[in-house]
Amino acid sequence: MNILAQAFGIVGMLFNILVYQQKKQKGVLICQFFAALSFALNYLLLGAIIGGLLNLVGVVRALVFYFEKRTKANSVIWLIIFIVAFAASYPLTFLVFGTPMTPKNFIIEMLPVIAMIIATVSLRLGSARAVRAFSIFSSPMWLTYNCFSGSIGAIASEILNLISIVVGIIRLDIKRNKDKTV
């Protein structure tokens, strides 16, 4: 079971890396959908409940934003729904799914919740550039959580994500801005 869990983590890692190299928001969302689905399975199989719950909500979030015209994703209602769903995952982890209520767990389980809220705000802004900019803050939170959850693919993913974010910012944001001013 652990091998299967880690395999899903590696698949999620591959899709997650591709997120930051997309030029268009639709590409970002397709990659995020498959990354979230893979990581949901990865975390749930590892018993890392909050990571699994947050990624299941992330699957729905990617679909809502992908089909933005049909779902009216630009409505502030969706932002509120996702923030509430992410925030609700936190107490559910302890009260329903039995994660021990220790000071360490209170902090560690909160990090990915904050990271998902940051990511949702960046998606609502509607540009791949915003996703890269906000991910500089959310990615280290996931990296910390992943170290405690034992997901090899997720740890590698966040390390590579941080590299990919920086490359994407340099390649797509800074370099393009320099090219426009020259």
Under 8 Å between Cβ of 59 and 118: no
pLDDT at 44: 96
pLDDT at 154: 93
Q: What domain count does the chain have?
A: 1
Under 8 Å between Cβ of 123 and 31: no
CA distance 40 to 5: 10
pLDDT at 106: 94
Distances in whole angstroms, Cα of residue 63 to Cα of each of 86, 158, 163, 173: 16, 22, 26, 26
What range defines the domain where residue 165 resides? 2-181
Query: Is the pLDDT reported for residue 182 higher than 60?
Result: no
pLDDT at 175: 73
Under 8 Å between Cβ of 45 and 4: yes
Backbone angles phi, psi at 129, to 5 degrees: -60, -40
Which is higher by pLDDT, 82 or 127?
82
- Mean pLDDT is lowest, of 24-33, 63-72, 78-87, 172-181, for 172-181
Encode pLDDT of 104-122 as tens digits.
999 999 999 999 999 888 8
pLDDT band at 64 (very low <50, low <70, confident <90, very high): very high
The arithmetic mean of pLDDT across residues 167-174, rounded, is 87
pTM: 0.84
| Angle (CA) 39 73 77, round 5° | 100
DSSP state of 1: -
